[in-house]
Structures are given as structure tokens and as C-alpha cells.
Structure 1
């Protein structure tokens, strides 16, 4: 497996696709790059090179417990240097969306475009459900997971959500999942990007479910007001985990954004 070593950190990453514009995918709280494989696989077939990686505190990446979202943004910049990526479109989900905003502020000249999904400008926009522990039983994990989906999706896909709960519980018992989740929660404390969003001048697409119970759609609306020229797409009857509830259409939305800006 490919790793990039930076100071005391080993960042797991992989690349899908061999040509076309770069798209860097930044995942949310506790989630690994595996979530992106279906999306990245579809996009790579359409001429997009996708960079996937595990944030500090998630997946196969190995790191010390104390870090900030700025550190994750710096990890991305070093990955780009390592792989010879001069410029990339950046797509961030939830916590990854906040990281993407920080990254763009740090190196706007290297970010071609920004896709922000189910995210916000500050920690204060997150509901209390985002910060509650997962617990130590399958039932407690399942109960927490319910906040991430709409009721309709839960009813139609109960077996899928139960399988996710089992996977998370296995990680809790074997991979220090809750401890690493706590480190990510600490990295989010006090973060607020509103001070610089007005200075970002690049094509931006914001995607947000109207029934998001983790980060309310009002946070996406605020981002659209603060980032000059940002386009907001609200998804009716979709919750926080857009990759699960909106997967069939998300690939098309990303491709349309890239095509409309002349990158494809």
C-alpha cells in the first residue's frame, strides 16, 4: 500500500485514473478513503484522475494523537508535491469540507475548483449528534448512525445501516476507533473559516441535503452567501451521508461541474 511519510505521520493514499484533471477527495469525521472508491472509479472512467487518502485519525493513516485541521491541509499539499500535482479540484465532505476550505485559503492558486458537500464554515454549525460518542454496543452505534440518514432511507436500507454499525463496532474494539474519533473531534474544536471565505475567488459548488440532521442545510446556505459566486444545490429528502443517499447522481453532478468550467 502506498504511504507518504511526513514528520511523524504516515499518510495512506491511492490514485485512480491515468489522465485528465486532478480531483482530490477529502472525507469526513471518522470515515476513510474507501468510501470514495465507487465515486472515484466512475469518475476515472470519464477522464478524471482521483487522489484518495485517509485523514489523520482515520483509515490506514498512522499519526500522533495531537493534530489540527490545518495539519491535514498541509498533508494534502505535501501529497500534491510528492505526486507532482500542480493544481487540483478539491471535493470535501463534512469535516473534509472544512479542511478543503482551509486548504484553499492556504494555497488558492493550486485549487482549481471547490466542491463542498454536507459541510459548514464552523464547528458551531454541527449538531450535538456529531460529537456524541459511538458507544460500545451494536445498538448504540446503530442509534447514533440513524441521525446521519433520513427516515425513508433507513426504512429502505436497514440492513445496510446495520452492516455499517457492525463494521464501526468492529473498528471500535480492534482499531482504537473511538479514541481516533476523539482526536478528530478535538481538531475541529473552535474552527471557523468565515473570516476568509469572502476572499476565495474560484468556481465553487455546494451540495447539501435538506434533511441533514448533522449539519443543517442552513450551514450550506451560509457558505453559498460567503463564498463569492458559489453555486448551491440543495437535495430534497437527503440526509448527511450524500455518498450513500445520493450516490447515483453525485457522479453526474461532479462531471457537470467539471465540464461547465472547461476542465473536461
Structure 2
């Protein structure tokens, strides 16, 4: 792994493939570390001739932690946003700042332009890169994410409860138990999602690498406090492929369709039995759809 200074912070990142190959930047979702990208997805893209770059978002993993900021109350941020106030003033940073991090990382490692693939919150970051740093974005792939339109169908109550569940203790065992129950609530069909043992093992490994519960709370506040951007998506000029699980209970497929509807020429594709997770078994399928789009 390597470290770069970008947008005033330090970002932990890693690459796979030749620096001479066209770059694709993978942007991770809420509260997850860069370690969660499936090996099959990274290797499949690299074997297809792409330089794959992935990194820890601010406040998770080994990138800069914003310890100087106390996480605001999610209800206060949400209430401000719903009543027409500028909720961005209540949060330490927004998704726009995280997009500037990602664009800055590309500059720091000498990548003029890249394809951007982001999942969940990472898909929101990717959209903001296409909006605010368009010169850095060759093609855009938002995955299991939303346009930010507040009128879209909400998460199921079970999915939201799973996402916001708190472990009884801050131990590897308790945190991994929450991770397993969360993936059972929001993840793919049992035939597709990773086993409970794999989820537990990877969560424990991540816990020992970096445990930042307050960082996750600040990221959640960033999502809630970011000014809505759906009405700006018509200005995106990067060719766009939107991918979504048909069985996603956290960010519903309608949210992905809305992105594709708003971005000129965008293509939407959904996958049966796929929920809101990075199931290893999806890697081959995703690579088979992503690579032709990038090469076209």
C-alpha cells in the first residue's frame, strides 16, 4: 500500500496493473475500508488491461481521521435538510469534499483522467466527481447508489435498522456479529452473498487494521448534509453505466434508474438476487459488463 497527500489530507491507496494502462478508480461506500474490494473484481479489471486504483476514504481505514470534529446528531442534520436549511453547515465535511479527495488523489499519483466506479456512498462521490471535477472523469459507473432525490423510495425499515445497528461492545467479535446480521438484512440472496464466516473474518481483519466508529458517524453526517444534487445530473457529459441489484433493500433500484434517467445517454442495468453488498460471486458478472463499456 502507498500514501499520498491530496486535498489537504493523507490518503492510503493501492494500485494493480501497469501505470501505462488506462486508469479506473474504485470508490468505496459508507464506513467500509479499501480492503473490501473483491479480489476477483480488481484482478478482472487489471487482467483486462486497466490500472486499478482503490483507496480509503477520509475518516476510515488508514486515511486521515477527523478526530477534531464531534459527529453531529443525524436527526439534527436531517431535520435541517428537510426544512430547507443549509445542512452542510452542520457537518464537518460533505460528499463534495470527499469527491475533491478522490480527484486530488488522481492528481497526486499523476493520473490525468480516469474511469470512476463508486459503490453506495462511493457512487455519490463518483457523481460529484463527474459534476465538480469533470476533467478528471472519462467514464462514470455509479453502483448501488442514488441520485440524491429525496422523493425516491426509502430504504426498508429492516435495512435501515441493520445499517444503524450498534454493537454491544467495541470488540472484534461484537463488531463482526453486527456485520453478519447487517449483511443478512441488506445483502444478496443467500445463494449469492458471501458466507457468514467470510463476512466475520473480513470484519475482524478490518477491525484490527483500523476501528473508527466516530469516523463512520461523520461519513453518515456527510451523506445527510450534502446539498441534493439530482437536478444537476443533466450536466454530466461522461458516458455512464449505472449498475444496481434488483433486490437491494437499502438503496432501492428506483434510485439507480433515476440516475440513468437524469444523465444524458446513461444505461441502467440491474441484476436479480443482488442486494446491497460486494458479493464475491458478483465479480465475474460485473467485470463482464464493465469492461466492454470501458472499451467502447
TM-score normalised to the size of structure 1? 0.87
- Equivalence for 1:41: 43
Q: Which residue, out of 235, 240, 247, partners 2:271? A: 235
TM-score by length of 2: 0.78
Indicate the residue corresponding to 1:13 in structure 2.
Answer: 13
Instruction: Kindly state the Cα deviation for residue 170 of structure 1 after the two structures are TM-superposed.
Output: 6.7
Determine whether 1:115 maps to 2:153.
no
Q: Which one of the candidate residues 174, 179, 182 is aligned to 1:144? A: 182
Whether the 8 Å CA contact 1:57–1:180 is kept in 2: the answer is yes
Contact 1:148 1:212 in 2 (8 A): yes
How many residues end up aligned between the 2 structures? 257
Tell me the residue number matched to 1:101.
127
Shift of 1:106: 0.8
| Contact 1:117/1:207 (<8 A) preserved | yes
Deviation at 1:35, TM superposition (A): 2.5
In structure 1, the gaps of 5 or more residues are none
Tell me by how many angstroms 1:82 deviates: 1.3
Cα 1:221/1:76, change in 2 over 3 Å: same
C-alpha displacement of 1:10: 1.8
Q: Give, in angstroms, the shift of residue 230 of structure 1.
A: 0.5
Which residue pairs with 1:206 in the alignment? 242
Pairs within 5 Å for 1:109-258: 109-122=135-148, 124=150, 127=155, 128-129=160-161, 131-136=163-168, 137=174, 138-153=176-191, 157=194, 160-165=195-200, 167-168=202-203, 175-191=210-226, 192-258=228-294
Structure 1 segments, 4+ long, off by >6 Å, are: none
Q: Which has the higher contact order (CA 8 A, sep 6+)?
A: 2
SS of match in other structure, 2:191:
helix
Q: Does 1:91 align with 2:91?
A: no
Aligned equivalent of 2:27: 26
CA distance in 1: counterparts of 2:252 and 2:135, whole angstroms: 30
> Separation in 1 of the partners of 2:295 and 2:261?
24
The residue that corresponds to 2:72 in the other structure is none
Question: 1:256: Cα distance to partner?
Answer: 1.1
Whether the 8 Å CA contact 2:25–2:53 is kept in 1: the answer is yes
